[in-house]
Structure 1
Amino acid sequence: MFDNLSLKLEKAFQTLKGQGTITEVNVATTVKEIRRALIDADVNFKVAKEVTDEIKEQALGKNVLTAVSPGQLLTKITNDELTRLMGGSNEEIDLTGNPAVILIAGLQGSGKTTFSGKLANYLKKQGKQVMLVACDIYRPAAINQLQVLGEQIGVEVFAEPENKNAVDIANKAIKFARESNKRIVIVDTAGRLAVDEEMMNEIASLKEALSPSETLFVVDSMTGQDAVNTAKAFNERLNFDGVVLTKLDGDSRGGAAISIRRVVEKPIKFISTGEKMDAIDKFYPDRMANRILGMGDVVSLVEKAQQSFDEDEARRLNKKIRKNQFDFNDFLSQLEQIKKMGNIKDLLGMIPGMGKALRNIDVDDDSFKPVEAIIRSMTTAERENPEIINGSRRKRIADGSGTSVQEVNNLLKQFQDMKKVMKTMNKMGGGKRAMNALNPFGN
C-alpha cells in the first residue's frame, strides 16, 4: 500500500546525499519534499504541515555525529514523527465484562462483516470463548455471510433473520451468551452508503443498550481522506474506542492510516488485509513507520512465524535435518506452513531492504503452485528418495503437474543443492544453529 509514499520519501532523503552538515537550506528542501509526499499519499494537509514543521524544527536543533549522515539523521527524525503521528504505541482492546461486548460499526462495504469474522477467529486462537451476533437487519446477505464465516472458523453465530429490531436481537444474544458461557460477544451492525441520521440513531441505540467494553469503527483505507472524514463524523456521535483499517493490501495511497489518529484522536487497534480469516494484525505505529520508510518489520514477521509454525513439527524437522533425512514431504510441509503466514509479498516486504527490491515485481500466493504440483505428482517413494527419479519419471511428473521437464529438473537440482548445504552445516556443527534461526520456537 505504501509503495508510492516510500519511493517519494526515499527521493526526499536523497536530496541530503553527499551533504556533510545539516543546514536550514538543505533541511527546508528535504522537508518540502516530505510534505509533498505525504499530501500525495492523501494525508490531511493540516496534519502533513504539522508533522513536517516538527521534523524541520527537530532537524535544525541537532548536530550531526561523525558516524551519522544528515540523510540518516532526518530519516530517524521522520521515523519518530510518523510513529508519534500514528499513536506512538499499540493499544489493546478492552475485554472486560460478562460477557465482553465488542460493537462493530462502519459504512457499508468497509469490510465490517469480514473483520468481525477475523476478530472472532483471532480471539478464538487465544483460547477465548467467542460468539458472533448478526445485527444487520437490512441486508440478508450480511447475515448469511456471517453464518458462513462462523462455520468456517468454528464460531457460533446468533441470528434472528425475521427480527427487524437490532437492539432486541443484541439483548437476546447477550442473554444467550451468558447462559452458554461465551466470554466475548462480537456484534456486527448494519452499514449505510453514507452517514445518515437513521444509521446514527440505530448504532447509538445499540451502544446505549449494550454498554460495550469496546466499540470499533471499521474504515476502508482505500477511501483515503473520505475515510478520515467519516470516522470523524461517527466519533462525534458514537465516541468509539478504536479504529480498524481494512483493505490495506489494496491500491490505496495510505493517507488514512497515517492521519486518522491525529484527526479523530482515537487509536488504530487492528489492520486487515485480504479475505483470509487469519489476515488480521494488531496495529503497531513504530512497525508501520519502519515499513513506510523501507526499514522492514522483522518483529511482525517473527510473530507471524510463531503463530503459524507448529512446534512439534519444527522439532521433528530439526531431527530429520540433523540426520540428513530431509525429503520432499518435509519440503511440502514447510511450504504449507509458510502459506499460513499470509500474503507472500507482504511477508517479504517485512524483511529490511526487500520492500524496495520488490517494488516492481509481481509476487503472489500462486508462486508456489508449480512447485506444489510437481511434488504432488511424485509417488511416495519418489518424495522420500528423489535420487530414484530418472528421465522417464521426470517426464511423467512433468505431465502430471502440467509443467515442463526443465521445471522438474530445476526443482530437483535446487532441492539437492539445499540438502548439500544442510549436510555441510551439520558436519561443521552449524545445523542446530541454522534450525534455531529458522525455527521461531528456538528448540
Structure 2
Amino acid sequence: MVRRIAVVGAGQAGLQVALGLLGAGGYEVTVVAARTPAQVRGGAVMSTQAMFGPALRVERAAGLDLWEGQAPGVRSVDAVLVPEPGLRALEFTMTLDDPAQSVDQRVKTARWLELVEERGGRVEYRELDLAGLRELAAANELTVVAAGRGELAGIFERDAARSPFDAPQRRLAALYAHGVGAPDPAAGPRARMHAVPGVGELYLQPALTLSGPCDILLWEALPGSGFDCFADRPDGAEQLRRMRELMAEHLPWEAELWARAEPTDAGGSLYGALTPVVRRPVAELGGGVAVWGIGDAVVVNDPITGQGANSAARAAEAYLRAIVERGDGPFTAAWMAGVFEEFWERHARHGVALTAALLTMPDHLQAVFAAAAEHEAVARRLANTYAEPADHAAWLATPELVGAYLATVG
C-alpha cells in the first residue's frame, strides 16, 4: 500500500520529512515549494542557521549532511561582556563536545529540493493560499505544513500558555561576508558573541555560502537602541558600513577584523524581527480535513540561541518516525496532536525556555555567565546546553537549580 503525503514548504523541517519518507519507501510524496532551486540560489539569505552536534547527527543518519568537510566545523565560542563602549569586562570560551556547522540555507534548500525529485518525489513550484491548501489536503492522506510565514502560518492557533512573548524582543540584521579577519588564525574556526547591556548582542560565526567559506554577522538589537538602525533595509554595502561604525564605537577589536570585509553577494544581507511563539500543531480546514504543522509553522524561536534549524531537524526526525510507525493507520487530528506533544515534552519546550532566558537574562543566568568566566566546566556545560537544550531543565531553569550546581564547582 502506497500512502500519499504532501509537504508544504521547503525548509529544514519540510524537506527533511519529505526526503525521509522517500528513503523509507511506500510513500508518494509531493512537496509544494514557492521557489525553484535556481531561484533559491539566486535569492537573498534566509537565516543565520547554526547546526549543533545532535541535529547534525540526525542529518548524517539520514544521509543529508552533504557539506561535512566543506563547511567550517566550529568547536568553540568566545564570549565577551561589553558593559560600556570598548570595555571587555568579562571574557571566556565555551567549548562544544561536537563541532557545530552552518550552511547557507540557499545552498542546503536548493540541493535538497533537487534530491526530492532525484529520489522519486514530486515538487510543485507555486504559491499556495488557503484554498489551495484545502484542495491539496483533500487529495492526500496527510499534509504537513512547514511554511512558517504568510497566510498559511496563520492557520495554526497561537498557544498562549506556551508563548512567552507577544512582540519581537530583538530587531535582527544579518550579513554574510568574505575577508573577515580571525582573532587567532591558528586556533581554527571559532564563533564569537558579544553582549552589550541595554543595546543588544552581536554574534559572528563561520559558515559555508554559495561562494565558499564566509563569516556571518548577526546583530540582535534591542528595539529602539543604538543597534536598531537597519529598519530601512539597506543593501549589503550600506549595512556593512553601519555595522563597522557600530563596531568601531562599541567593539573596536572587531572593527579591526572587519576592515577588509565585503558582502558575499547581492543577496547576502537580511533584516527583520520576529515574535517568539508556539502554535497549536493541528489546523482544521473544514469538511473533516486537518493539516499538521512542523518547524517554524508551530515553534518560532529568536535566533539568539540558534535553536531554529536545530529544533526543525529534531521535529522532522520525530514526525518521520511517527509516520512510519503509524503503518496503515489513519492520520487523525488526535494522533497529530499526540506526536507533537511528545516532541514538545522531549525537546521543543526546552529550546523555548532557554531562548526566553537568554532574551531576558534573569539574575541567576547572569550568575552562570559570571561563573563561566571563572570555571571552564561551567562554560563547557553552558555551550553544550545550546546544543542539547533539554539540559536547561536540569541546571539553568531556576535560581535554586543554578545555586545547587554552582555550589559543586565553586
**Higher share in strand:** 2
Q: Which structure exhibits the higher relative contact order, with contacts defined as CA atoms closer than 8 Å and separated by 6 or more residues?
A: 2
**Which category of TM-score, normalised to the shorter sequence, fits these structures?**
under 0.3
**Higher share in helix:** 1
Q: Which entry has the higher C-alpha Rg, 1 or 2?
A: 1
TM-score (norm 1): 0.25
TM-score (norm 2): 0.26
